[in-house]
């Protein structure tokens, strides 16, 4: 399966980053969101990100323009009906994702792969909202997408070998490192990361250390580039809470 055109659903932090890295290596990208304001913010973020690459002399001005010409913004899902791949990157909410994938299954051509950037929700459950579970896969990018090299790949029960191999090859083409995770709540990254952030919040709440103290211990004591509280702010505390609620509901563990 050869991927040429991609629909990225959601122009927020993750979506605009995914759109940027895909366009940067030559894919045609349709970036879709609910309204023009969200699209404008997403495209502006991509432009600023590319400007930083120009300052670092990693791309040229003309290179930036070429990348931007590969990205088309839209509020109409039907504009992506002929894509080879959809990457959904909306809010981490089960009911919302189930609804979106049910709709994608109707609108997007039947040959297309439907991928989700979910960081914790079951791929098998999401795939069950479609009539093509063999073509549904998890592609969990890390934030910020243009910088971070990891992409977790998660196969649902029905994900075909062909789809997995296609997406694995695409991730390598993006110059990122794919890691296969089984379809368990939180997969690998957030099964480890979110309890770590949560414990840091408890450490702050119980006045064991200050914000700076906790993050400094992680940076200098664990050789982490960022402390857990800073990571929580980067992810967004609302997203952290949503992930923790899924982990709590699906694992039944109060930790």
Q: List active site positions.
A: 119, 140, 152, 190
CA atoms within 13 A on the CB side of 20: 29
Q: What is the dihedral of CA 180, 14, 78, 29, to 10 degrees?
A: -80
- Token output for 219: 């940076």
- Sequence-distant contacts of 23-29: CB under 8 A, at least 24 apart: 23/67, 23/68, 23/70, 23/71, 24/67, 24/146, 25/173, 25/174, 25/175, 26/70, 27/3, 27/70, 28/4, 28/70, 28/72, 29/5, 29/70, 29/71, 29/72
CA distance 160 to 168: 12
3-class SS at 29? strand
């Amino acid at each position: 399966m050869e991927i040429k055109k991609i629909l990225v659903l959601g122009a927020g932090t993750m979506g605009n980053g995914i759109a940027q890295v895909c366009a940067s290596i030559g894919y045609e990208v349709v970036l879709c969101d609910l309204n023009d304001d969200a699209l404008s913010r997403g495209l502006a973020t991509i432009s600023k990100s590319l400007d930083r690459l120009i300052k670092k002399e990693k791309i040229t001005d003309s290179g930036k323009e070429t990348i931007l010409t590969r990205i088309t913004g839209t509020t109409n899902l039907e504009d992506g009906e002929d894509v080879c791949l959809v990457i959904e990157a909306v809010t981490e909410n089960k009911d919302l994702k189930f609804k979106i994938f049910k709709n994608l299954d109707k609108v997007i051509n039947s040959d297309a792969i439907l991928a989700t950037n979910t960081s914790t929700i079951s791929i098998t459950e999401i795939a069950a909202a479609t009539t093509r579970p063999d073509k549904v896969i998890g592609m969990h990018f890390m934030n910020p997408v243009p910088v971070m090299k990891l992409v977790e790949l998660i196969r649902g029960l029905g994900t075909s070998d062909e789809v997995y191999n296609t997406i694995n090859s695409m991730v390598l083409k993006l110059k990122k490192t794919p890691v296969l995770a089984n379809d368990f709540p939180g997969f690998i990254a957030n099964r480890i990361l979110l309890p770590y952030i949560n414990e840091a919040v408890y450490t702050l709440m119980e006045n064991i250390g200050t914000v700076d103290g906790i993050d400094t211990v992680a940076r200098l004591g664990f050789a982490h580039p960022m402390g857990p509280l800073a990571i929580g702010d980067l992810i967004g505390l609302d997203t952290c809470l949503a992930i923790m609620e899924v982990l709590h509901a699906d694992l039944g563990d109060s930790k």
